[in-house]
Amino acid sequence: MPIKLKKKIVVAMSGGVDSSVTALLLKQQGYEVIGLFMKNWDDDDKLCPQKKDYQDLISICDKIKIPLYTVNFTQEYWDNVFKDFIKELELGFTPNPDVLCNREIKFKVLLEKAFSLGADFLATGHYASINNQFELCTSVDTNKDQTYFLYTIKHEILKKVLFPLGSYPKSTIRKIAKDHHLITHDKKDSTGICFIGKRNFKEFIQQYIPSEKGGFYTLDDTFIQENDGAPFYTIGQRKGLNIGGEGKAWYVVDKDNKANKVYVVQGDTHPALYDTTLLANEISWVGKPPDLDTAYKCSAKIRYRQTAQKCLITRISKEIIKVKFLLPQRAITPRQSIVFYKDNVCLGGAMIMPKND
């Protein structure tokens, strides 16, 4: 997208290599660049990486020679992301706070803050791109593509956003950082849930959700052994079940959240792990919705980094769609996002519904 020089661009900076190089590239292109660091979590715990990230960021901005501002969104994050995360866990689902963070924080309150600073655009280090029609498109580096987490961003917002890294592979980004002596060049990518960091997930969650023991059961409702409670397990999970005995490894295939039961089967190829059809609601299209009066052909992902799978979408009602895949999909998980693609364009997405809804 062509932009006149000397436009003011606010870069959302996290203290990682991606946002560091985003700011560097834009500065090299002649734009007036401002770094903006978001504080989203109020925690002095040493296992929370926020303080170290900020110190790295001071060094980066000094190196690039751009100003750095800090904004505190801890209340907004708590109200609009974290409370929803806890609510979903209490209901026995496996929430993904990244999607909500992008919609409610980065491309809402952060975008508003950027424009209050006189910015013409907000830039982030996401691996995604925007074409001339302001459609959300996948990045060159398909392994790092993050459009799965960005599907709730609307067409009009994309006109105000830049994704400079969309045309680069991750290896090139690290090389650029190293060549320019940025201290983040070999910094590990952040993984997992940002506010948990390196802490034990169960110990952290038990601060907010009372711990209540549940049980593992076979599909014929035979009790196997006690577990830590349904909120701590997700569909398709193998590690951490600690179910002994002979035979193949055990996998979670279903949960009865009200009864605090987790249903498991043995073997990665067990038929109960696979399905070709799902229902989804909370539909969000980036641009104009596709015509669903007849079955709409496209591809979809039910998890990040999955290769998009061919499917058909049909409308069940104004709020619900049915998705039928060409091939069986493993571990379709309620309340996770399903994201739709047509070639390299991200059309939008929805939330996978529990089977009994």
- Structure-token match 């190089």, residue found: 21
Cross-strand pairs, 323: 278, 313
Are 335 and 354 in contact by the 8 Å Cβ rule? The answer is yes
d(CA 220, CA 73): 48
Q: Quick check: is 194 catalytic?
A: yes
Are 58 and 68 in contact by the 8 Å Cβ rule? The answer is yes
Burial of 190 (0-12, 13-18, 19+ CB in 10 A): middle
Are 288 and 133 in contact by the 8 Å Cβ rule? The answer is no
Residue 315 has a CB neighbour count (10 Å cut-off) of 17
Rg from Cα positions in the chain: 22
Are 300 and 308 in contact by the 8 Å Cβ rule? The answer is yes
Q: What is the DSSP string of 293-310?
A: SSPEEEEEESSTTPPPEE
- What the block records as the tokens of 308 is 């998009």
Catalytic residue (one of 48, 61, 137, 194): 194
275: which residues sit within 8 A by CB, 6+ positions away?
328, 329, 332
Residue 193 has a CB neighbour count (10 Å cut-off) of 17
Q: Quick check: is 311 catalytic?
A: no
Are 308 and 148 in contact by the 8 Å Cβ rule? The answer is no
- The CA distances from residue 76 to 1, 103, 192, 279, in Å, are 31, 12, 21, 31
Picking from 154, 101, 158, 108, the residue whose alpha carbon sits closest to that of residue 129 is: 158
191: which residues sit within 8 A by CB, 6+ positions away?
none
Catalytic residue (one of 48, 61, 101, 346): 101
Which residues are part of the catalytic machinery? 101, 194
